[in-house]
Structure 1
Amino acid sequence: MIPYGRQDITQADIDAVVSVLRSDFLTQGPMVPRFERAVADHVGAAHAVAVNSATSALHIACLALGLGAGDWLWTTPTTFVASANCGLYCGAQVDFVDIDSRTYNMCPRALRAKLEVAAREGRLPKIVVPVHLCGQPCDMAAIHALAVEFGFKIIEDASHAIGGRYRGEYVGNCRHSDVTVFSFHPVKIVTTAEGGLATTNDADVARRMELFRSHGITRDPLQMTHAPDGPWYYQQVELGYNYRMTEIQAALGVSQMDRLDEYVAQRHALARRYDTLLASLPVITPWQHPDGYSGLHLYVIRVPSGGNGLSHAAVFEALRAGGIGVNLHYIPVHTQPYYQAMGFAPGDFPEAERYYEEAISLPMYATLTETEQDKVVETLANAVRH
Structure 2
Amino acid sequence: MIPYGRQDINQDDIDAVTAVLRSDFLTQGPVVPKFEDAVAKHVGAEYALAVNSATSALHIACLALGLGHGDHLWTTPISFVASSNCALYCGATVDFVDIDPRTYNICPVQLAAKLELAEKNGCLPKIVVVVHLCGQPCDLSTIYKLSLKYGFKIIEDASHAIGGKYKEAFIGSCQFSDITVFSFHPVKIITTAEGGMALTNNEDLAGKMDLLRSHGITRKQQEMTHLADGPWYYQQIDLGFNYRITDIQAALGLSQMARLDAYVSKRHQIANRYGDLLSDLPLTLPWQHEDSYSAYHLYVIRLKLDEINLTHRQVFEELRMRNIGVNLHYIPIHTQPYYARMGFDQRSYPEAERYYAEAISLPMFATLTETQQDDVAVALRETLLT
TM-score calculated relative to the size of structure 2: 0.99
Q: Is the 8 A contact 2:268 2:296 kept in 1?
A: yes
- Deviation at residue 126 of structure 1 after TM alignment: 0.2
2-structure distance, mates of 1:291, 1:65: 28
- Deviation at residue 231 of structure 1 after TM alignment: 1.1
SS at match of 2:80: coil
2-structure distance, mates of 1:117, 1:243: 37
Q: How many residues are matched?
A: 385
The 1:17/1:277 distance shift into structure 2, 3 A limit, reads: same
Matching residue of 1:289: 289
Q: Structure 1, residues 171-200: CA drift from partner, whole Å, max 9, x if none? A: 000000000000000000000000000000
Matching residue of 2:377: 377
Matching residue of 1:96: 96
1-structure distance, mates of 2:53, 2:3: 22
1-structure distance, mates of 2:228, 2:111: 48
Establish whether residue 180 from structure 1 lines up as the match of residue 180 from structure 2: yes
Matching residue of 1:40: 40
Matching residue of 2:314: 314
Letter in 1 for 2:256: Q
2-structure distance, mates of 1:101, 1:304: 14
2-structure distance, mates of 1:96, 1:180: 19
Q: Is the 8 A contact 2:129 2:157 kept in 1?
A: yes
SS at match of 1:12: helix
Q: Is the 8 A contact 1:76 1:106 kept in 2?
A: yes
Q: Is the 8 A contact 1:155 1:178 kept in 2?
A: yes
Q: Is the 8 A contact 1:304 1:312 kept in 2?
A: no
2-structure distance, mates of 1:363, 1:163: 19
- Deviation at residue 345 of structure 1 after TM alignment: 1.5
Q: Is the 8 A contact 2:6 2:187 kept in 1?
A: yes
Establish whether residue 115 from structure 1 lines up as the match of residue 144 from structure 2: no
Establish whether residue 50 from structure 1 lines up as the match of residue 63 from structure 2: no
Letter in 2 for 1:124: L
SS at match of 2:264: helix
Matching residue of 1:254: 254
2-structure distance, mates of 1:153, 1:296: 26
Matching residue of 1:138: 138
1-structure distance, mates of 2:274, 2:303: 15
Establish whether residue 237 from structure 1 lines up as the match of residue 268 from structure 2: no
2-structure distance, mates of 1:327, 1:383: 16
Matching residue of 2:62: 62
SS at match of 1:94: strand
Q: Structure 1, residues 66-124: CA drift from partner, whole Å, max 9, x if none? A: 00000000000000000000000000000000000000000000000000000000000
2-structure distance, mates of 1:59, 1:228: 33
Letter in 2 for 1:215: H
Q: Is the 8 A contact 2:72 2:127 kept in 1?
A: yes
Q: Structure 1, residues 117-168: CA drift from partner, whole Å, max 9, x if none? A: 0000000000000000000000000000000000000000000000000001
Q: How does 1:208-357 map to 2 (within 5 A)?
A: 208-221=208-221, 223-225=222-224, 229-306=229-306, 308-357=308-357
- Deviation at residue 228 of structure 1 after TM alignment: 5.9
Specify every segment of 5 or more residues in structure 2 that has no aligned partner in the other structure, as ranges.
none
Matching residue of 2:203: 203
- Deviation at residue 305 of structure 1 after TM alignment: 2.0
Matching residue of 2:84: 84
2-structure distance, mates of 1:191, 1:112: 35
Q: Structure 1, residues 14-46: CA drift from partner, whole Å, max 9, x if none? A: 000000000000000001100000000000000
Establish whether residue 14 from structure 1 lines up as the match of residue 23 from structure 2: no
1-structure distance, mates of 2:100, 2:202: 30
- Deviation at residue 229 of structure 1 after TM alignment: 1.5
SS at match of 1:306: helix
Letter in 2 for 1:179: I
Runs of 4+ more than 3 Å apart: 223-228
SS at match of 2:284: coil
1-structure distance, mates of 2:223, 2:289: 48
Q: Is the 8 A contact 2:308 2:384 kept in 1?
A: no
2-structure distance, mates of 1:305, 1:224: 63
User: More deviation in 200-209 or 300-309?
Assistant: 300-309
Matching residue of 1:74: 74
Q: Is the 8 A contact 2:282 2:307 kept in 1?
A: no
Letter in 1 for 2:60: I
1-structure distance, mates of 2:17, 2:330: 33
Letter in 2 for 1:151: G
Letter in 2 for 1:316: F
Letter in 1 for 2:61: A
- Deviation at residue 312 of structure 1 after TM alignment: 1.1
Q: Structure 1, residues 201-232: CA drift from partner, whole Å, max 9, x if none? A: 000100000111000000123x3446961111
1-structure distance, mates of 2:129, 2:284: 27
1-structure distance, mates of 2:317, 2:290: 33
Report percent identity of matched pairs. 68
- Deviation at residue 310 of structure 1 after TM alignment: 3.4
- Deviation at residue 308 of structure 1 after TM alignment: 3.6
